[in-house]
């Protein structure tokens, strides 16, 4: 017996610590869920998936873990109108396009070399700390 193989599912090894945040079992599982299926789930969707591997996890813990990871800059929150917050492990600066036909949320990158201040008439002296760009529309199938 060479390997302990504690869990055969793990295609991804999550470190014990990320960005100064201790990655507990719950946080690892939640982070794994976010990076393995990048479909911008809500806290409740994460909760339902997390129960497969951690049957005793609570929704409050899912909220706590997501919040901790957001605070440490490990993941980002995504908002559409006032719908439930969604979570995204993509740390590139990017926006989101919500396809109203399919429900799919696409990450939308900036074109290379463009900066928001080239495009927007910001108040003089404004220092931007956070950006959220959300688009809604359709992708017609020809």
**Binding region for a copy of itself (CB under 8 A):** 77, 79, 81-82, 85, 95, 97, 99-100, 106, 108-111, 114, 116, 118-140, 142
Q: Is 67 helix (H, G, I), strand (E, B) or coil?
A: helix
Which of 43, 8, 51, 38 lies closest to 105 in space, CA to CA? 38
Q: Given the complex with DNA, which of 45 and 110 has the nearer CB atom?
A: 45
106, interface contact from a copy of itself, DNA, none, CB < 5-8 Å by kind:
a copy of itself
- Binding-site partner at residue 19 among DNA, a copy of itself, none, CB < 5 to 8 Å by type: none
Distance from C-alpha of 115 to C-alpha of 8, rounded to nearest angstrom: 44
Nearest in space to 106 (alpha carbons), one of 130, 82, 90: 90
- What is the smallest separation between the CB atom of 79 and a copy of itself, expressed in angstroms? 6
Q: Which is nearer to a copy of itself, 52 or 131 (CB)?
A: 131
Given a copy of itself, DNA, none, residue 13, with its beta carbon under 5 to 8 Å by kind, binds none
Give the chain's end-to-end CA distance (angstroms, integer).
Answer: 56
Q: How far is the CB of 88 from a copy of itself (least distance, A)?
A: 14
| Residues at the interface with DNA (CB under 7 A) | 16, 21-22, 24-27, 42-44, 54, 56-61, 63-65, 67-68, 82, 84-85
Q: Which is nearer to DNA, 59 or 110 (CB)?
A: 59
Q: Name the CA radius of gyration of the chain, rounded.
A: 18
- Check: CB of residue 86 under 8 Å from CB of residue 79: yes
Q: Alpha helix locations (H) across 3-102?
A: 25-36, 43-50, 59-71
């Amino acid at each position: 017996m060479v390997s302990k193989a504690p869990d055969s599912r793990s295609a991804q090894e999550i470190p014990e610590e990320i960005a100064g945040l201790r990655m507990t079992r719950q946080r690892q599982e939640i982070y794994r869920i976010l990076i393995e299926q990048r479909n911008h789930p809500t806290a409740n969707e994460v909760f339902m998936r997390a129960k497969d591997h951690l049957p005793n996890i609570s929704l409050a813990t899912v909220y706590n873990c997501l919040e901790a990871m957001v605070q440490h800059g490990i993941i980002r929150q995504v908002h559409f109108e006032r719908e439930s917050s969604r979570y995204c492990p993509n740390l590139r600066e990017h926006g989101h396009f919500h396809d109203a036909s399919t429900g799919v949320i696409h990450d939308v990158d900036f074109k290379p070399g463009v900066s928001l201040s080239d495009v927007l008439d910001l108040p003089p002296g404004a220092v931007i700390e956070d950006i959220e760009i959300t688009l809604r529309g359709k992708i017609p199938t020809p």
